[in-house]
Amino acid sequence: MPFVKRNDVGEIEAIATHASTDFSEQLQSDDPEVIAFTSAVTQDSQSLSDTDLDFVRVLEDVVELLIAKGVILFTDLPESAQAKMLHRQKLRAEASRRLNLIGDD
């Protein structure tokens, strides 16, 4: 059963698995307040995660632009970053070929 910490207006602001000075009130795991709090935290985390893939693509485009403009060299990147970029470029090229349903004819 979780222990909760409340703010000045009585809303749950944090949950802990063990009791402490700030976390002295124990509630059932299925308490509506506990469920509402954990759902809100999960949704916030999911919203951030949903943008991660889009942001990765933006960063990849920025790195490619910097390389194309000669601001940085591909070899300036750490080897692990080079390998990941090459792998993504290969995957995108393969996907592009598979999606080319019309062909060159």
Span 30-80, pLDDT tens digits: 888 988 888 888 777 777 777 888 898 899 999 999 999 999 999 999 999
Reported as a pLDDT band with limits 50, 70 and 90, residue 85 is very high
Rounded CA-CA distance 25/38 in Å is 16
Instruction: Answer whether residue 34 is part of any domain.
Output: yes
Residue 15 is part of which domain span? 3-51
Q: Is residue 12 part of a domain?
A: yes
Averaged confidence pLDDT in the chain: 87
Structural domain contains residue 13: yes
Q: 103 pLDDT band (50/70/90 cuts)?
A: low
Asked, for residue 17, whether it belongs to a domain, the answer is yes
**Quick check: 8 pLDDT over 70?**
yes
Is residue 90 assigned to a domain? Answer: no
pLDDT given for residue 59 in this prediction: 92
Query: Is there a domain that residue 91 lies in?
Result: no
Indicate whether 67 belongs to any domain: no
Number of domains observed in the structure of the chain: 1
Contacts of 12 (CB under 8 A, 6+ apart): 4, 5, 6, 33, 34, 36, 37
